[in-house]
């Protein structure tokens, strides 16, 4: 039962990922793409946690944390760039 729920959650997250991916490719502006990228990384964090659950390996949680950290910095840098160039 729990396995099934975890799999359903993974499927819903995958669907969300596809929707965000659509916006990422469609744009139209650079800001739209960055928003889509931000959402993609947040979904990816949940996905990593789901993988950690099915594999039962806590080490993946560190991956999720570092990923959250780096994507945050990435989005900030790109946003600064959009504002006035590096």
Partner 1 sequence: MDSVLGLLGGLFLIAGAAFLLLGGLGLVRMPDVFNRIQAGTKATTLGTLFGLAGAACLQPDWALKLMLIGLFILFTNPISSQVLARAAHRSHAEKSALTAVDRLEDDQGA
Please give the residue ranges that form the binding site for partner 1 (CB under 8 A): 1-2, 4-6, 8-13, 15-20, 22-23, 28-32, 34-36, 38-39, 42-43, 45-46, 49-50, 52-53, 56, 58, 61-62, 64-65, 68-69, 72, 75-76, 79-80, 82-84
Task: Supply the minimum distance, in Å, between the C-beta of residue 26 and partner 1.
Answer: 8
Task: Supply the minimum distance, in Å, between the C-beta of residue 54 and partner 1.
Answer: 10
Residue whose C-alpha is closest to residue 39's, from 22, 62, 59, 63: 22
In order of 51, 56, 65, 68, the CA distances from 23 in angstroms are 25, 33, 25, 21
Task: Supply the minimum distance, in Å, between the C-beta of residue 21 and partner 1.
Answer: 9
> Cα–Cα distance between 9 and 2 in angstroms, integer?
11
* Length of the chain measured in residues: 86
């Amino acid at each position: 039962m729990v396995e099934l729920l975890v799999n359903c959650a993974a499927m819903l997250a995958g669907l969300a990922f596809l929707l965000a991916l659509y916006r990422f490719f469609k744009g139209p502006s650079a800001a739209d793409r960055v928003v889509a990228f931000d959402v993609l990384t947040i979904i990816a964090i949940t996905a990593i946690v789901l993988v950690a659950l099915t594999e039962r390996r806590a080490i993946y949680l560190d991956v999720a944390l570092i990923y959250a950290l780096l994507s945050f910095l990435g989005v900030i840098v790109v946003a600064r760039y959009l504002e006035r160039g590096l």
